[in-house]
Amino acid sequence: MHHIWHRPNNTIIQLHLEILDMIPVLLIILLTLVSCEADIDFNRIDGEPCIFLDGMIGNAPASLISAHVATPMNMGKEDMSKAKVKLTGTISDESISFSKEEGGLFFHEIRPGDKIEIHASAAGVSDVHASTIVPEPINLISSRIISKEGTFITFEIVYEENAGEEGYYGIMFNDTSISEAPGILLSESYDMVVPFGQLEGTILIWDRHKTRREGDRSVFKTSIDTDSEKTTQYSIRLVSLSPEAYMYLRNIYIKTSTNFGAVGMGTPAITYSNVIGGIGVVGSWWVEDALLTE
């Protein structure tokens, strides 16, 4: 199935700036609604110590899975137990193990379709187990800029879904705001995943050179100067996500810039758990870049 992102109507663009001030409230409402649908482990918010397990596995040089023993209602790393956690990880049929003192469990050369399983154990607490399957990349067919009005860029992305694949797809931005019908989502400091399948979308580019020190600009906007012309490229990241990764991003990542452990201990009511016996999330994703040139 092909999906096409195209320009929203003028009403959406005109309302965009007016609604920006409402974004924090909208996000809180959104997170509240989504968290109610998440697989929340309410049994683990009773103040008893358990293993916190977290990590996002993707097409990076190395992906880290870490674990520690902590009490859910405590707030920071200083409250974490010094208990030794043994981690065992399996990629398809290959097994490796690290202790917590060695920094966690590193995965290299992850491939689409790999099944990742993690097991963690420590003295005095229940073992935890989590699993995820690395999703297939998105098949990008074409990408182009349709029009530009001021700092608004309307773009079109045509892609093909992977037949028979279960998972989630999205567009990830950094330092941009995203306008979509029927509502608006904002990503100022954090990446935001917008589910594919929307019929309308546009982006507002913020050039950080105008407001911050040199070099602190969006990594997705690049100016290219040649002898004959100057062009600007916008890199839009197409993301395919495992269900666990999707729930993590919707419930945790867009909420805070702190590490997962502190979030999990401070606000367990919105903690998504896909591990048995503890709190945490192990998800996987695959990222592809689509370049738009003006």
Q: Is the peptide bond before 72 cis (omega within 30 degrees of 0)?
A: no
Tokens of 44: 């683990």
Domain-wise residue ranges, the chain? 2-36+136-241+289-293
Summarize pLDDT for 3-51 with one digit per residue, the tens: 443 333 333 333 333 333 333 333 332 332 233 333 444 444 456 777 8
Please tell me the predicted confidence (pLDDT) of residue 261: 38
Distance CA 80, CA 71 (A): 7
Asked whether 128 and 137 are in contact (CB, 8 A), the reply is: no
Using a cut of 0.75, tell me whether the model's pTM lies above it.
Answer: no
Q: What are phi and psi of 31, to 5 degrees?
A: -65, -35
107 dihedral zone (left: phi>0; alpha: psi -120 to 50; beta): beta
Tokens of 102: 């060695």
Rg for the chain (alpha carbons), in Å? Answer: 21
Dmax (CA) of the chain: 69
Q: How far, in whole angstroms, is CA 112 from its chain's centroid? A: 17
Residue 163 burial (10 A CB sphere; 0-12, 13-18, 19+) = exposed
Strands 176-179 and 202-205: antiparallel
Asked whether 237 and 171 are in contact (CB, 8 A), the reply is: yes
Please tell me the predicted confidence (pLDDT) of residue 142: 76
What is the C-alpha end-to-end distance of the chain, expressed in Å? 28
CB neighbours of 105 closer than 8 A, spacing ≥ 6?
Answer: 55, 64, 65, 66, 87, 88, 89, 96, 97, 98, 118
Please tell me the predicted confidence (pLDDT) of residue 180: 34
Summarize pLDDT for 179-206 with one digit per residue, the tens: 332 223 333 333 445 555 433 455 555 4
Per residue of the chain (294 residues), give pLDDT as tens.
Answer: 444 433 333 333 333 333 333 333 333 323 322 333 334 444 444 567 778 887 888 887 778 888 888 776 554 444 556 678 888 888 886 776 655 555 578 888 888 889 988 898 888 888 888 888 888 887 777 777 777 776 666 767 676 666 555 556 666 654 343 433 222 333 333 344 555 543 345 555 544 333 333 333 233 344 445 555 666 666 666 777 888 877 776 665 544 433 333 334 444 434 556 777 777 778 888 877 777 777
Strand order in the sheet with 115-121: 94-99, 86-91, 115-121, 128-133
